[in-house]
Amino acid sequence: MNLPDWMLLLQWGDAGWGDEMVRGMLMTLAVAMAAFLLGIVIGTLGAALKLSRYMLLRLIGEAYTTLIRGVPDLLVIYLLFFGGSMALMTVARMFGYEDYIELDAFAIGTIALGTISGAYATEVIRGAVLSVPKGQIEAAKACGMSRFLLFRRIMVPQVARFALPGLGNVWQLTLKDTSLISIVGLVEIMRQASVASGSTQKPFTFYLTAGVLYLILTAFSNKGFGLAELWANRGVRRA
Amino acid sequence: MKRFLTALALASIAFGGAADAKDFKAGSKVRIATEGAYAPWNFTDSSGKLDGFEVDLYADLCERMDVQCDLVQTAWEGIIPALQAGKFDAIMAGMSITDKRKEVITFSRSYMGSPASFVVVKSSPLASLSAGLDALTLADVDAKEKAGLDSMKAALKGKTVGVQISTTHENFLNEYMGDTVTVKTYDTQENLDLDLVAGRIDAALASLSYWVPLLEGEKGKTMAMVGPKMDGGPFGNGVGAGIRKDDQELADMFTKAIDEARADGTIAKLSKQWFGFDGTPKE
């Protein structure tokens, strides 16, 4: 049986690149999820800063979102990747440690992408917080709810529901931004595809495969967010 | 993008350069970076193992330098800033020695040349063209080489020679033969090959790393390489190991090891194995 060239190239095991490409996809997924979760944490903090009653905190939140959303993502990654290890080594030198310190590529990638997706998540969450009707908050206070109870019972369930569509968007951005961190040496889909195409001189086969793998990831996550929205809106009647 | 990376590299030096000069000597640890995606220089096989000309060469050079080497795989984008940041100590990734790069890093001597040669169709009267030389280094031309160059020029007088536009090969033609041959430029090497076979041009000039695989294949069976392999001068300075400017002694160690590997034929053997021709750089 004669398989076409591209199938031979993509077969499983040591003879082909199939297993390497799928491993790249899992790496992409792992970095994207870690960065997205970090982004939600940062985004929640960022939204709290921007909605704070203190001017200084508002300014910090404003500076963060303006800066990160205003410069290219690639630049943020470069600065963290090259600048981060240089800063660390300079500090280490002060304490007399001379050897080279390798920063973990996965950690750097997650921090860089988390910082970026956090800035977008900040705006999404801030918008969701503002969408909670003021009357509900007043009513909760009138019932004597503590600040924590108000946060847990009134804010979180509604903010989560309002934020879901926007966060789905942030997720897809984060997923695709992972292709930028191939420069830190993390072997995700894009890096694997460029290594394979440079090594075999068959760019189309591998970049098309990479495209298909990204589509698989985004198609499944679309479905996932759709289900999550259904669940979050289960108590709400559609008009 | 390239300019941005250069700027980043410069900035990283300006900011005190985290990578201070290290002392390299016998027994030192040297981290060498390669891309692993540039066959046949360096590439990854389908089981994920690094292979290629430089992957074989680095092991040989490290043994000669008596140092412990680690080969690190890194992306080509940002490879120079990463060297500056101290992520590794040397680059062996098919990187040509250029003046632009020399502004930010230093190089060992070249371990591979970039030889070029003329190709004609086998039925052409030029098929017997020979300058009485196998190889010609254009950096310092002696009397015999001068005679060879002149005889080649005479043979090509009035002919049309095709070349890919904006290449070192075009520069060579304009500089050395521009007054006697008609230079025809092409946007791609493929179009150039088609016109050569169709007889619209009498000869074509390109690098051996392009010709050798082509002439072995189906498309090249009517073509023949003629005249000497030409290197140096307008053809560039070859490919060398990129090293931080602070680490000149490491560059010197590389240069010494490369000279030994040139002298005993190791580079000739590896370059024949991986490229199909002997690209050992001259002095």
DSSP conformation class of A185 = T
Asked if residue B45 has pLDDT above 50, the reply is yes
Residue B16: what pLDDT? Answer: 44
**Average pLDDT of the segment spanning B159-175:** 92
Sign of CA dihedral B201, B207, B208, B212: negative
Confidence band for B243, pLDDT divided at 50, 70 and 90: very high
- Which of A2-6, A12-16, A169-173 is the least confident region? A2-6
As a whole number of Å, the CA-based R_g of chain B is 20
Rounded percentage of chain B residues whose pLDDT exceeds 90: 55
Residues of A in contact with B77 (CB under 8 A): 183
- Which of A56-70, A120-134, B213-227 is the least confident region? B213-227
- Which of A232-236, B42-46, B92-96, B219-223 is the least confident region? A232-236
Encoded tokens for B29: 């640890």
Q: Do B37 and A194 touch (CB under 8 A)?
A: yes
Question: Measured between CB atoms, does A193 come within 8 Å of chain B?
Answer: no
Question: Measured between CB atoms, does B10 come within 8 Å of chain A?
Answer: no
Are B280 and B79 contacting, i.e. CB atoms less than 8 angstroms apart? Answer: no
Are A169 and A65 contacting, i.e. CB atoms less than 8 angstroms apart? Answer: no
Per-residue burial over A17-53, b = 16 or more CB atoms within 10 Å of its CB, e = otherwise: bbbbbbebbebbbbbbebbbebbbebbbbbbebbeee
Nearest neighbour of A85 by CB, restricted to B39, B78, B87: B87
Nearest neighbour of A17 by CB, restricted to B18, B39, B46: B46
Nearest neighbour of B18 by CB, restricted to A81, A90, A199: A90
Are B114 and B172 contacting, i.e. CB atoms less than 8 angstroms apart? Answer: no
- Which of A28-32, B17-21, B211-215, B243-247 is the least confident region? B17-21
Q: Do A199 and B43 touch (CB under 8 A)?
A: yes
Question: Measured between CB atoms, does B210 come within 8 Å of chain A?
Answer: no
Q: Which residue of A has its CA nearest to B38?
A: A198
Question: Measured between CB atoms, does A194 come within 8 Å of chain B?
Answer: yes
Question: Measured between CB atoms, does A188 come within 8 Å of chain B?
Answer: no
pLDDT tens for A28-48 read: 999 999 999 999 999 999 999
- Alpha-carbon distances of B219 from A98, B194, B210, B224, rounded to whole Å: 56, 10, 12, 12
Question: Measured between CB atoms, does B37 come within 8 Å of chain A?
Answer: yes
**Average pLDDT of the segment spanning B89-115:** 92
Nearest neighbour of A20 by CB, restricted to B48, B74, B77: B48
Best B4, B22, B46 residue to mutate vs chain A (most A CBs within 10 Å): B46
**Average pLDDT of the segment spanning A151-177:** 93
Asked if residue B21 has pLDDT above 90, the reply is no
**Alpha carbons B110 and A138: distance in angstroms, whole number:** 76
Residues of A in contact with B31 (CB under 8 A): 100
Residue A62: what pLDDT? Answer: 96
ipTM over 0.90: no
Asked if residue A81 has pLDDT above 60, the reply is yes
Residues of A in contact with B15 (CB under 8 A): 86
Nearest neighbour of B78 by CB, restricted to A85, A90, A183: A183
B23 Cα to chain A: minimum distance (Å): 11
Asked if residue A85 has pLDDT above 90, the reply is no
Q: Do A86 and B85 touch (CB under 8 A)?
A: yes
**Average pLDDT of the segment spanning A79-106:** 80
Residues of A in contact with B86 (CB under 8 A): 85-86, 89, 100
Best A22, A86, A189, A209 residue to mutate vs chain B (most B CBs within 10 Å): A86
Confidence band for B18, pLDDT divided at 50, 70 and 90: very low
Q: How many helices (H) and strands (E) does chain A have?
A: 11, 0
Asked if residue B19 has pLDDT above 60, the reply is no
Asked if residue B7 has pLDDT above 80, the reply is no
**Alpha carbons A39 and A41: distance in angstroms, whole number:** 5
**Alpha carbons B254 and A205: distance in angstroms, whole number:** 38
Q: Is B81 exposed, middle or buried (0-12, 13-18, 19+ CB in 10 A)?
A: buried
- Alpha-carbon distances of A89 from A85, B21, B30, B115, rounded to whole Å: 6, 14, 18, 42
Q: Do A89 and B73 touch (CB under 8 A)?
A: no
Nearest neighbour of A85 by CB, restricted to B8, B77, B85: B85
pLDDT tens for A112-149 read: 999 999 999 999 999 999 999 999 999 999 999 999 99
Nearest neighbour of B74 by CB, restricted to A14, A17, A185: A185
**Average pLDDT of the segment spanning B252-257:** 96
Among A residues 42-71, those touching chain B with beta carbons less than 8 Å apart: none
**Average pLDDT of the segment spanning A197-213:** 90
Asked if residue B207 has pLDDT above 50, the reply is yes
Question: Measured between CB atoms, does B77 come within 8 Å of chain A?
Answer: yes
Higher pLDDT, B240 or B237: B240
Asked if residue A99 has pLDDT above 80, the reply is no
Question: Measured between CB atoms, does B74 come within 8 Å of chain A?
Answer: yes
